[in-house]
With several copies, the nearest count.
Chain A
């Protein structure tokens, strides 16, 4: 394993030092692992906080800024942050109108955010929470920890962020966030596993013509192993998995997301097939993102996330955003 790191122990701190140097419009505490807007909380605005394990960059710190998050707290690689970080991030986001915690549905994230919310409530901060659980590769049943939160997190953070920026109260921002999650589904495919800095070995081994279907974003193996196919067929596998769980029609917001080690040219090839297949079903790519947004270290592969847009959601999606990883309209 060759990685551009100084040591496995300092990966997150070192990356945050780099983020700080690259983005003067962010306030970054590399030791405390808090990233927030340099301008501080916006008085009277609902605050948005998210956090989770590192290794998914640009998620979440890359989405801090006007129109999206107020603060983020990155944990260790693939490890949920601790409640103290969440409490500090909440304080950095709190403009007095309450704070929404955007939590990806993983046991660790859920438990730590739960403990944090208790602490915040003790300090008198009004907290609402949205659980993102869009990954259809996992069955949402009592036999699982529930569907994982993956690509839809970007949609939730963007759209809820726009609602908050527009002055909506906490309950409404939370409602919009939950609506986005309810209308979104994802499915991921890996061509190669990722390698965590600590273990130094791929989290699973794939043969020359093997792929893993239904992977999450933590290097865990997926739903099943399959034979490698061309981009058109792989796009179909991913889109059909989404469509099976939530039939796609009308205006759809589509993200073809790279998992960290996939070049953009390949993502565009997948996106071409997704767009074509979607329109073959009578749906339409109304808005889109193609690139690395929710990654899994250096994993090779992609995920597809689709969100059924309403007019309101489309308007909030189009609203100005000014963050390291998403920018438009301002």
Chain B
């Protein structure tokens, strides 16, 4: 997995976030402040632009650039949290020497570092009705599907790993619907937060869907 694939991923996130902007904002209107779609649209749009302006030389550098851009451009709760997720993932790869190509298992470990960064910063646990409810199962799915030695796996199996991550994220997002929020703005509503999907979890499912598409798409460059 190289910078071309990850660039396709980020571009794909930007596209799907743009397409789902209103839906994410509506979800946030129900239990938050109606800005999540706009926030991420602004952030991932800026990330795509940053990647185009100075294409990073390694997946690690790319993820750090995306993370830094999100932190610098999004604001709100999701800016620092998504920003930290990407930046910590990139930092993990950096600590391993920033090779120009990473394996799915390495990406899984990087995303685990990203998840750790999110929970460290926001101290949300699974069940609190946040993006963590989509992010954590997705990372777990990717980890377990890539746990066997790379040599033993076929390309098809790799795709299945990303499929598993995407469906875990989606299932995690849907599972937030009945939850009563304990973190973020939705927690102000107490029991009234139940019955609505968490916008951050919903956007996280889009992120993993975009990753699957990027893996499936042979790309041009």
Contacts and interface: CB of A to CB of B under 8 A. Distances in A.
A-B interaction: yes
Given A108-B80, A145-B184, A221-B189, A82 B34 contact: no
B39 A216 contact: no
B122 interface: yes
B178 interface: no
A78 B73 contact: no
Contacts of B38: 76, 79, 198
B159 interface: no
Q: How large is the interface on A (under 10, 10 to 19, 20 to 34, 35 or more residues)?
A: 35 or more
B77 to A, nearest CB: 4
20 contacts: A76-B38, A76-B75, A78-B34, A79-B35, A79-B38, A79-B39, A79-B76, A80-B75, A82-B74, A82-B79, A84-B72, A111-B122, A112-B76, A115-B71, A115-B80, A139-B190, A145-B185, A198-B38, A216-B188, A219-B34
A147 to B, nearest CB: 9
B80 A143 contact: no
Interface string B57-101: 000000000000001111111111100000000000000000000
A317 B180 CA distance: 40
Given A82-B71, A112-B80, A220 B33 contact: yes
A209 interface: no
Given A145-B184, A220-B31, A220-B185, A111 B25 contact: no
B1 interface: no
Contacts of B74: 79, 82
Interface string A68-88: 000000011111111110000
Contact of A199 (B25, B80, B180, B183): B25
B77 A108 contact: yes
A82 B72 contact: yes
Interface string A97-126: 000000000111001101100000000000
Max chain A Cβ within 10 angstroms of own Cβ: one of B29, B34, B73: B34
B187 interface: yes
A61 to B, nearest CB: 16
Contact of B188 (A78, A80, A145): A145
B104 to A, nearest CB: 30
A107 B122 contact: yes
A78 B33 contact: yes
Interface of B is mostly: helix
A112 B43 CA distance: 14
Given A138-B188, A199-B26, A216-B188, 5 more contacts: A75-B75, A79-B38, A82-B79, A107-B184, A198-B38
A145 B189 CA distance: 11
A186 interface: no
B140 interface: no
B29 A199 contact: yes
Interface in B183-216: 183-185, 187-190, 192
B32 interface: yes
Interface string A36-66: 0000000000000000010000000000000
B84 to A, nearest CB: 9
A83 to B, nearest CB: 6
B19 interface: no
Contacts of A78: 33-35
A6 interface: no
Contact of B183 (A81, A145, A196): A145
B183 A107 contact: yes
A80 B77 contact: yes
Contacts of A114: 80, 121
Contact of B71 (A83, A137, A201, A218): A83
Contacts of A218: 32-33, 185
